[in-house]
Amino acid sequence: MSEIPSLIADLALILATAGVSTLIFKKLKQPLVLGYIMAGFIVSPNLTFTMSVIDNENIHTWADIGVMFLLFALGLDFSIKKILKMGMAPIIAALTIIFCMMSIGVMVAELFGWSHLNGLFLAGMLAMSSTTIIYKAFDDLGLRQQQFSSLVMSVLILEDILAIVLMVVLTTVAKSESASTGGEDTGLLSALLSIVFFLVLWFVVGLFLVPIFLRKVRRLINEEVLLIVSLALCCAMAVFASKVGFSSAFGSFVMGSILAETIEAKKIEKLIEPVKNLFGAIFFVSVGMLVDIKVVIDQWPAIVVITLAIIFGQSIFGTFGFLLSGQPLKTAMRCGFSMSQIGEFAFIIASLGMSLGILSDFIYPVIVTVSVITTFTTPYMIRGAVPVYGIVERSLPKVWIRRINKISEMAPTNQDQSQSYWRPLLIQMAVNTLIYSVLSSATILIMLTVGKDILDGLLPSEWAGIACAVLTIMFVSPFLRAMVMKKNRSEEFRALWVGSRHNRAPLIFTIILRVILAVMFIVPVLSQITNLSNTIMLCLAIFIIVGMVYSRGIKNQSIRLERLFLMNMNSKELAERVTGKKRPLFEGRLLDRDLHIATVDVPQDSIWTGKTLKELRLAQRFGVHVSSIMRGRQKINIPSGDDIIFPYDQLNVIGSDDQLKALNSTLQEELYPEPTEFVGHDMQLRRFSITEDSFLAGKSLVTSQLRDKYNCMLVGMEENEESLTSVSPLYLFQPGDILWIVGEDQDIRRLSSQEP
């Protein structure tokens, strides 16, 4: 018999250890991430008296796949439109927290004399709070429906996105310093420009092509095929991202974000979850394998300092960041105190530093130890925010409290307070110019490299250059026309043009500027045609741009492409409107007051199921109002008192934080008790022969009380060995009849005991 490969043996050991460890941590009501880390520590070579993993390289390969799928799942939960609708408030809070915490990280590294690169990576690790741990803590404490928790989750989403960008920047800086090129600023700027270029290109092209592809094959896709297709897209983007100089995790996140805007997003998220959980578990186990207890003991001063820096730094600067974003002091403190830990992204950034070979070995176990400590302190920090606020309120003069709360009034809001049309017009023009510039650049780059090589093999050199130039101009013409003409007839443009003659010169200048930019794209293409002077190329480029502007065919093509893109981008939102899953429009108005809307899930075994809203008296008991009920694909708006609650219903409820907390707590507690005994509850099908002495002889189905007294059901009466016939309720059982009766084992035995 062949020997089991070391990879299988290692996987068996890892999963067995992780299974036992997670059961223990689940029993202790702690995050499962800690269980995985503990399992990794147990199976690591650093612990000599337990079984250890044989082949570390294979495990780390699987861990890299785990990071890829973790970020793919994170991307599926990310929505571009959701971020844009957040406004500036979460952005201000996130940027403030990240900048301050990164500064603390650099100072801590300098305090212990660590290298510059170690300090940068430590700064990145300290800046990112754990979405998983905070979400779990909110859920365990029954705070997920409260208003401040939604603010925290918005900032955490932004932090996760900025962490992806930070990983790319850290990679570039590390490579620049290790290469000792001396061009760090140039390399960093180039990396940032590359991120912008590829992000715009991937999102625009992805949001255009992927929804069309999924729409075309929707009839052929079941759950199994959708899972394979989703993983294929994820891996393909990961490979492509690594080919152009980014990490595979970055590409996975981008593809997840693209799929997040499709109708199938929720289904893909559900299908990918088991895959993510498996490989994610292996990743976190590999994190625990790098923990060396000797290093932890040697570096205990750094662990203490970093732990205190995170707890106090996140609490103070988090509170300050949320104050600047427009929250009152109490809410800001609850938000800031909730973010006082680090988690999965700290491990991912540390893994990145280890893979690049520039992160010192001792930092990894230090960060893991700090993460474990801050994870345990997170619930206490969340609970302690309100008491600490009470102390602050009593200690500070009331004038100071009022002035601090006035910061929220000075903070920018999501509403546009400007009376000028210039700001929105210029922003829209800049965004359109950026998008169409990236699309034009990518098209020209592909045509002048791949396209030119193909044409050179088909045509003579001179004709190949002309054909390449003509085809390239044809392909980029919709983009360049949109760049020049988009927003020139918008409401803002017309209002500024009519409003004042002083606005006309700047407006004309914006058009000229975009025409010049479009010409700059055409000139390199025309250079493929030989024997053309610079003056001729410039004049010909201007003539081509003018022709694009006045071409009705190019205009219609540009409009069709843009409408198709917008339809794909809004397909998920349109589907949510149809199925009734879109959040109500009045939600934003409620958030400005003490009331807000939250979703609560009805457990399967809730004693509320089967009861009407009138019987539950939610308004009288909790002071809340049910605005709608989601039941599968059905939505019941403004339910009446006669509407019945079913298992797994989602209730959209309006109330204050305290009211919603009381409602959710009661809902999770009022459950049917689990049965303590399972013996005798199996269903049995038994054959009964009616004799003259049988208690059923001479009785009908009604008078025998089979259902009411014995909790059994008559299936039928046997006519021959192959068929059963139904029995009329009034039929009197006769000796010789053969009945087939079904019921629980204990009830069947009770019925049998009546027979002689």
How far apart are alpha carbons 448 and 465 in whole angstroms?
9
pLDDT at 305: 92
The model's pLDDT over 183-203, given as tens digits with 9 standing for 90+, comes to: 455 556 676 777 778 878 887
pLDDT at 578: 54
Per-residue pLDDT for 7 more than 80? no
The model's pLDDT over 53-85, given as tens digits with 9 standing for 90+, comes to: 766 677 777 777 888 888 888 788 776 666 666
Per-residue pLDDT for 49 more than 70? no
Per-residue pLDDT for 589 more than 50? no
Per-residue pLDDT for 604 more than 60? yes
**Of 716 and 144, the one with more pLDDT:** 716
pLDDT at 232: 92
Q: What are residue 601's phi and psi, to 5 degrees?
A: -100, 135
How far apart are alpha carbons 507 and 485 in whole angstroms?
12
Mean pLDDT, to the nearest integer, of 242-259?
82
**Of 530 and 251, the one with more pLDDT:** 251
pTM for the whole thing?
0.69
Q: CA torsion, points 511, 512, 513, 515, in degrees to nearest 10?
A: 90
Per-residue pLDDT for 204 more than 60? yes
295 CB contacts (<8 Å, ≥6 apart)? 361, 362, 365, 366
Q: What does the block give as tokens for 252?
A: 């996975």
Q: What does the block give as tokens for 434?
A: 């950026």
Mean pLDDT, to the nearest integer, of 633-662?
84
If you average pLDDT over every residue of the chain, what do you get?
A: 80
The model's pLDDT over 530-573, given as tens digits with 9 standing for 90+, comes to: 666 777 888 888 888 888 888 888 888 888 888 887 777 766 66
Per-residue pLDDT for 476 more than 50? yes
653 in Cβ contact with 625 (< 8 Å): yes
Per-residue pLDDT for 408 more than 60? no
Per-residue pLDDT for 680 more than 60? no
106 CB contacts (<8 Å, ≥6 apart)? 119, 120, 122, 123
The counts of H helices and E strands in the chain are 31, 8
pLDDT at 684: 85
Per-residue pLDDT for 17 more than 50? yes
Confidence of residue 418 (pLDDT cuts 50, 70, 90): very low
422 CB contacts (<8 Å, ≥6 apart)? 492, 496
Task: Name the CA radius of gyration of the chain, rounded.
Answer: 33
Give the lowest-confidence range in 229-243, 342-356, 435-449, 541-555: 342-356
Confidence of residue 420 (pLDDT cuts 50, 70, 90): low
Mean pLDDT, to the nearest integer, of 585-597?
55
Confidence of residue 414 (pLDDT cuts 50, 70, 90): very low
Per-residue pLDDT for 21 more than 50? yes
pLDDT at 85: 64
pLDDT at 575: 63
Between the alpha carbon of residue 536 and those of residues 467, 529, 530, the distances in Å are 18, 11, 12
The model's pLDDT over 126-143, given as tens digits with 9 standing for 90+, comes to: 888 877 778 777 776 777
Alpha-carbon torsion (488, 87, 575, 227), positive or negative: positive
pLDDT at 742: 92
Per-residue pLDDT for 50 more than 70? no
Q: What does the block give as tokens for 420?
A: 């000028």
Per-residue pLDDT for 592 more than 50? no
Per-residue pLDDT for 416 more than 80? no
Give the lowest-confidence range in 316-330, 333-347, 582-596: 582-596
Confidence of residue 681 (pLDDT cuts 50, 70, 90): low
pLDDT > 70: what percent of the chain?
Answer: 86
**Of 80 and 666, the one with more pLDDT:** 666
Per-residue pLDDT for 216 more than 50? yes
Beta strands in 622-712 (DSSP E): 625-631, 634-637, 650-655, 683-689
